[in-house]
Amino acid sequence: MGGKNLIEVKNLKKYFKVGKNSVLKAVDDVSFNIKRGETLGLVGESGCGKTTCGRTILGLYAATSGQVLFNGSDIHKLDKKKKIEFTKKAQIIFQDPYASLNPRMTIGDIIGEGIDIHNLYKGKERMEKIYKLLQVVGLNKEHVSRFPHEFSGGQRQRIGIARALAIEPEFIVCDEPISALDVSIQAQVVNLLIRLQEEFKLTYLFIAHDLSMVKHISDRVGVMYLGTMVELADSKELYDKPLHPYTKALLSAIPIPDPNIAKNKERIMLEGEVPSPINPNPGCRFASRCAYAKDECFKSRPEFKEVDKNHFVACHLI
């Protein structure tokens, strides 16, 4: 995909102060871009900073330092008017379809809220827009006056998607949109997102904690570990030729349906838990769990460098 960048993230840091002397480095010097019309998958275990990264890109958190450029403008330096324009162009789909919909609002009002805030359509036009949105996400007109509790998890996520689409955004952060759903429903939601991307020319940042479903939707995939980006490559390249020890371990954990292939596959077990992002060590964040770690790994942080065309990795051994 050779289009123009819609999003450019440059040396982004998002730190949270914890107590008097501690700092939680949720996102620590992360850089990447997302081209218009592209889906960038962002994966890593919980606590790796991917959700904080997505929210800082949307301006929901102020950046500690670094830049997030949307169409060339730094979203953390926009004046009030431009900020409102940006919030119309960039939306989020949340992880938990049960918690993210107001239980006291009808589906019509949930989807219509953004339309009203941005004053996009009124009266009959507004209702027609809501009916159309229900239809594009696979629901129907009759659902408009119902409440969230009357729907299944998959249907609620479709409502969340319709709400995000209501104000005709260009960019959507899909924040683990399938993690809370049954496996049987996950593929349906991913297929819906792919269809909507083509129909509405959307750009996605697709956040997930495992690599299995991300493969089907992402053009490129970035792997995060403890606030840092450890590897970024075209989707196929990352799955066929992972380089970073952490990416290899994540990929080896994906179940393979064919038992003949599965029996020849070696599972790389990660020792221990993800360490705390509070006051992390100065070296490679993965060092405490890496089978290849040497002295240098605990002292200096490896540079995130391009080792093959469009394939970036942060490891002293590569």
| Interface contacts to ligand SF4, rule CB under 6 A | 245, 284, 286-287, 290, 292-293, 297, 302, 315-317
Q: What is the DSSP string of 237-294?
A: HHHHS--SHHHHHHHHTS--S-HHHHTTPPP-PPPSPPPPSBS--SS-TTGGG-TT--
Residue 173 or 284 having the CB closest to ligand SF4: 284
Shortest distance (Å) from residue 47 CB to ligand SF4 = 18
Closest C-alpha to 228, from 275, 173, 177: 275
Shortest distance (Å) from residue 294 CB to ligand SF4 = 6
Residue 154 or 302 having the CB closest to ligand SF4: 302
Cα–Cα dist 220/229, whole Å: 13
Residue 77 or 241 having the CB closest to ligand SF4: 241
Shortest distance (Å) from residue 272 CB to ligand SF4 = 13
Rounded CA Rg of the chain? 20
Contact 249, 268 (CB under 8 A): yes
Shortest distance (Å) from residue 295 CB to ligand SF4 = 10
Shortest distance (Å) from residue 98 CB to ligand SF4 = 37
Contact 86, 75 (CB under 8 A): yes
Residue 94 or 225 having the CB closest to ligand SF4: 225
Q: Is 69 exposed, middle or buried (0-12, 13-18, 19+ CB in 10 A)?
A: middle
Contact 286, 230 (CB under 8 A): yes
Paired with 220 in beta bridges are 40, 234
Residue 128 or 306 having the CB closest to ligand SF4: 306
